[in-house]
C-alpha cells in the first residue's frame, strides 16, 4: 500500500514550489507524483494535424519526487507523515502520524 495516492491533498516541502498545495493527479513510476498546479513548465510543441494538436508554447505539470511532498492534514493545517494501522476488520488503513486520524475516512 502506498503512503500517497491519487487524489490526496499534498504540500510541497522542498524545491522551487515549496509551500504550494495541490491534489495528486497521477502517480508516475515508483517515486514520482504529478501535482495539480505545481512544477509547471513551458513546452514548445510542434503542430501535429494527425493528432489534432496545435503548435505553440504549452504549460504542463511535470512529476515531482515523492520525497519532496508531504500529505496535508486539514485538522492541523500542516504537513504530516503517514503511518499504517490494522483496524478491527483486519484491514490496513492509512493514518496521520501527528494525531492518529484515518486519512481515507
Digit-coded pLDDT (tens) for 40-55: 999 999 999 999 989 9
- Strand 40-45 and strand 32-35: the pairing is unpaired
Q: What letter would DSSP give residue 3?
A: S
Q: Does residue 81 lie in a domain region?
A: no
Any domain includes 46:
yes
Inside any domain, residue 91 = no
pLDDT score recorded for residue 105: 58
Question: Is residue 104 assigned to a domain?
Answer: no
Residue 92: its pLDDT value, please? 94
CA atoms of 86 and 105, how far apart (whole Å): 14
The boundaries of the domain holding residue 28 are 9-76
Mean pLDDT (the chain) is: 93
CATH value at residue 32 = 2.30.30.30
Q: What domain count does the chain have? A: 1
Residue 13 in any domain: the answer is yes
19 in a domain, yes or no?
yes
Any domain includes 62: yes
Whether the predicted pLDDT of 18 surpasses 70: yes
Q: Can you tell me the distance from the alpha carbon of 24 to that of 8, in angstroms, rounded to the nearest whole number?
A: 6
Q: How many CB atoms lie within 10 A of CB 70?
A: 19
Look at residue 66 in the predicted model and tell me its pLDDT.
Answer: 94
Residue 25 grid cell:
493527479
Q: What is the pTM of this model?
A: 0.83
Amino acid at each position: 500500500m502506498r503512503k500517497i495516492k491519487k487524489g490526496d491533498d499534498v504540500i510541497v516541502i522542498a524545491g522551487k514550489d515549496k509551500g504550494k498545495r495541490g491534489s495528486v493527479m497521477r502517480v508516475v513510476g515508483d517515486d514520482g507524483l504529478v501535482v495539480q498546479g505545481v512544477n509547471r513548465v513551458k513546452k514548445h510543441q510542434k503542430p501535429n494535424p494527425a493528432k489534432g494538436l496545435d503548435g505553440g508554447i504549452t504549460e504542463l505539470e511535470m512529476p515531482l519526487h515523492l520525497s519532496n511532498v508531504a500529505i496535508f492534514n486539514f485538522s492541523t493545517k500542516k504537513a504530516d507523515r503517514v503511518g499504517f494501522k490494522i483496524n478491527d476488520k483486519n484491514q490496513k488503513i492509512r493514518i496521520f502520524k501527528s494525531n492518529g486520524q484515518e486519512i481515507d475516512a
